[in-house]
Structure 1
Amino acid sequence: MRSRIVLAAADGLTTSAVARKLDINVATARRWRARFLQHGLDGLLDEPRPGRPRTVADAQVEAVITRTLETTPKDATHWSTRSLAAELGMSQTSVSRIWRAFGLQPHRQDSWKLSKDPQFVDKVHDVVGLYLNPPEAAVVLCVDEKSQIQALDRTAPVLPMMPGTPARATHDYVRSGTSSLYAALDVASGTVISSLHARHRAIEFKKFLAKIDAEVPDEFAVHVVLDNASTHKTPAIKRWLTAHPRFVLHFTPTSSSWLNLVERWFGELTTKKLRRGTHRSVRALNADIRAWIATWNDNPRPYVWTKTADDILASIARYCTKINDSRH
């Protein structure tokens, strides 16, 4: 910007004209124009600033980054600011500042998994194509089961939240059985067809398909996005599908549950109802789940898929390249 001010002034523009051209304050243009006239190129440099001189050298910054990224302590899986500061003879505050400046967080670890499905590319195009360009006269449903939902009750009453104190619950609990929830999320409307069962076998999945068949009007084809669970591919299920040709199954790639939008809905159910819920029986658990789903369907909110299949595949390709280029 300082160089542009000088060059614009050299073209014969007034200080006001320079300020308008570069969209800056007139005082700014005047200051750097005067500094250049008085000191030349040196006038465009920053003057020495007041305050305490810098105490951490570039070599120390490099040492912190190198140790953090390429080594581990003898007694731990990752460095802390204090352990690394003791190792390098620096202050804990200095290490903390360097980590923040370079976005280093050794205490955190994310998870990832790449699908090994040989038909991964074709399946991604198939499922994402349904989301972005659904067929006419058809309903697209994302189907899955959330199995082994536990009916849990704490061994002591939950203490309510108070100003300055969060709600508190005991770490131990009494388990009163489990339930399995089958859900079909309508991609267009966000409504959910659901069914609760004590078990999650092929026979329960077949019953759920029959429920979907009864609730979706006959004039619509039914495209179902689901995973590769064995209960979805038994001979009994194949015979049922043959007898109901309007049903078309679209399988997500293995290890790619993120492609199924109903998993996002399961996440909301878990966060908003199940994780902190207390139930003394499976019947109470099922009643609570049914009530939550009814409330959801009163005001359904569809999830909007935005990435194309090509965007997803390009992102995965970049990640694979990063992994291959890594020395680890």
Structure 2
Amino acid sequence: RSQIVLLSARGWSNAAIARHLHVTENTARLWRRRFVEDPDHGLEDRPRPGRPRRYSELDRATVIAFACELPIRRGLPLSRFSYADIAREIRSEHPGAPSRSTIARWLRANSLRPWRYRYWKFPRDPHFRERAEEVIDLYHRRWEGHPLGPNDYVLSADEKTCIQVLQRTHPTGPPSPQHSIRVEHEYARGEPVTYLAAVDVSRGKVFGDLPSENTKVTFYRFVDRVMAREPYRSADRVFWVLDHGHSHHPATFGYWMTGRYPNAVPVYTPTHSSWLNVIENYFSALTRQALTPNDFATPEALRVRIHDFERWRNRAVRPIRWRFDREDLDQLMDRWAGEGITFETASASS
């Protein structure tokens, strides 16, 4: 409500306020009018019929704050809270506390599910912004403040290592009415497979290789095969977006590439920021669409599946449109700053 009033004071229209705050125009119009009629109390709730509230906003805020803490910080032998855990602990500290169902309703209203978790890698590259901006600009076909030319290309490359070969002890069953695909739990593990791939961002085409091992030599050979193709062989510039993997580490790979291919430009994502590498999207699609569930009799069968998936995908290629831009990066950095995330501790590879 306060934001509606503040934005209206800046001259925003009801429609613009509604879009910005994700409310209806009628809502924006209502609170602007109430504030004009009563600047001191116009944004407060008016008295309503029915039973008065049993719990105050302070009670609700106390529960939400409790749910936003890790149990270990309260000396509890738990790794995460459930609704029942929160209700039990709050009742022990505050007699007359809300019931479990009330607490669950409050937390659901705030999209809080404290038992859920996800893994992530703490950003620690001191040059995160500079490296991220370079990569983002390339995806939007800009380099050092200038548009890329028609004979400039951007390739995103990486390796997908240790792809497991799991031979099930019973064949995987197909889906049927009221039954999903059935995958045998027991399996025999085979030799893992390595897949090298690069995607042309402007065309969407994927180039892959399935070497017997993952080393600098195999990656260099892969680069040779890609750069021998047209249009990259005669291109003005070919930008290679890479991470800091050992087979193409900036300490060695950059010198080799620029010495061998004068038109090649290696560009590195920030450390531990694979989400900025477009090829990871392709690897994700490969895993979801072709390798899951994992049921392959031999490593060769897995290689055939990967090769066939690459060919299948390349039959309907289209340019990759990267939507994340510098404005989104600024918002991300501001959010991290608000969460106390800094980049003072750099990894050794930075």
What's the TM-score bracket when you normalise by the shorter of the two chains? 0.7 to 0.9
> Contact conserved, 1:148 with 1:178, CA < 8 A, in 2?
yes
For residues 253 and 202 of structure 2, the distance between their equivalents in structure 1, rounded to whole angstroms, comes to 29
Residue 122 (str. 1) matches residue 130 (str. 2): yes
Point out the more displaced range, 115-124 or 191-200: 115-124
Which residues of 2 match residues 1-328 of structure 1 at below 5 A?
A: 48-49=48-49, 54-58=53-57, 60-70=59-69, 72=71, 74-89=76-91, 90-134=98-142, 135-136=148-149, 137-217=151-231, 218-220=233-235, 221-233=237-249, 238-239=255-256, 241-323=258-340
For residues 309 and 53 of structure 2, the distance between their equivalents in structure 1, rounded to whole angstroms, comes to 58
Give the Å deviation of 1:154: 1.7
Structure 1 residues 314 and 99: CA distance shift in structure 2, 3 A: closer
Structure 1 residues 63 and 248: CA distance shift in structure 2, 3 A: closer
* TM-score, length of structure 2 as denominator length: 0.72
String of CA shifts for 1:28-57, please: whole Å, max 9, x gaps: xxxxxxxxxxxxx9xxx867546x765545
> Contact conserved, 1:206 with 1:237, CA < 8 A, in 2?
no
Question: Would you tell me which structure has more helix in proportion to its own residues?
Answer: 1
> Contact conserved, 1:158 with 1:168, CA < 8 A, in 2?
yes
Give the Å deviation of 1:237: 7.4
Structure 1 residues 116 and 78: CA distance shift in structure 2, 3 A: closer
For residues 257 and 338 of structure 2, the distance between their equivalents in structure 1, rounded to whole angstroms, comes to 44
> Contact conserved, 2:198 with 2:206, CA < 8 A, in 1?
yes
Point out the more displaced range, 238-247 or 139-148: 238-247
For residues 174 and 78 of structure 2, the distance between their equivalents in structure 1, rounded to whole angstroms, comes to 38
| Bigger Rg, which one | 1
> Contact conserved, 2:199 with 2:279, CA < 8 A, in 1?
yes
> Contact conserved, 2:172 with 2:295, CA < 8 A, in 1?
no
String of CA shifts for 1:209-256, please: whole Å, max 9, x gaps: 111012233321321111122221476874454132122111112111
Structure 1: 5+ residue stretches without partners: 1-22, 25-40
For residues 199 and 296 of structure 1, the distance between their equivalents in structure 2, rounded to whole angstroms, comes to 24
CA RMSD of aligned residues (A): 3.2
Residue of structure 2 equivalent to 1:7: none
Q: Percent identity?
A: 29
Structure 1 residues 143 and 48: CA distance shift in structure 2, 3 A: closer
Structure 1 residues 59 and 228: CA distance shift in structure 2, 3 A: closer
* Alignment size in residue pairs: 288
Point out the more displaced range, 261-270 or 173-182: 173-182
Residue of structure 2 equivalent to 1:15: none
String of CA shifts for 1:159-200, please: whole Å, max 9, x gaps: 333333332323332111111111110001111011111211
* TM-score, length of structure 1 as denominator length: 0.77
For residues 230 and 290 of structure 1, the distance between their equivalents in structure 2, rounded to whole angstroms, comes to 24
For residues 177 and 49 of structure 1, the distance between their equivalents in structure 2, rounded to whole angstroms, comes to 71
Structure 1 residues 213 and 170: CA distance shift in structure 2, 3 A: same
Q: Secondary structure at the match of 1:279?
A: coil
Structure 1 residues 246 and 63: CA distance shift in structure 2, 3 A: closer
> Contact conserved, 1:147 with 1:200, CA < 8 A, in 2?
yes
Code of the residue aligned with 1:200 in structure 2: it is: N
> Contact conserved, 2:257 with 2:266, CA < 8 A, in 1?
no
Point out the more displaced range, 146-155 or 162-171: 162-171
String of CA shifts for 1:54-99, please: whole Å, max 9, x gaps: 5545454244223222462723122211222233344321111011
Point out the more displaced range, 179-188 or 132-141: 132-141
For residues 58 and 257 of structure 2, the distance between their equivalents in structure 1, rounded to whole angstroms, comes to 70
Structure 1 residues 277 and 70: CA distance shift in structure 2, 3 A: closer
For residues 169 and 220 of structure 2, the distance between their equivalents in structure 1, rounded to whole angstroms, comes to 38
For residues 268 and 296 of structure 2, the distance between their equivalents in structure 1, rounded to whole angstroms, comes to 34
Structure 1 residues 203 and 162: CA distance shift in structure 2, 3 A: same
For residues 239 and 79 of structure 1, the distance between their equivalents in structure 2, rounded to whole angstroms, comes to 52
Code of the residue aligned with 2:164 in structure 1: it is: Q
Give the Å deviation of 1:207: 1.0
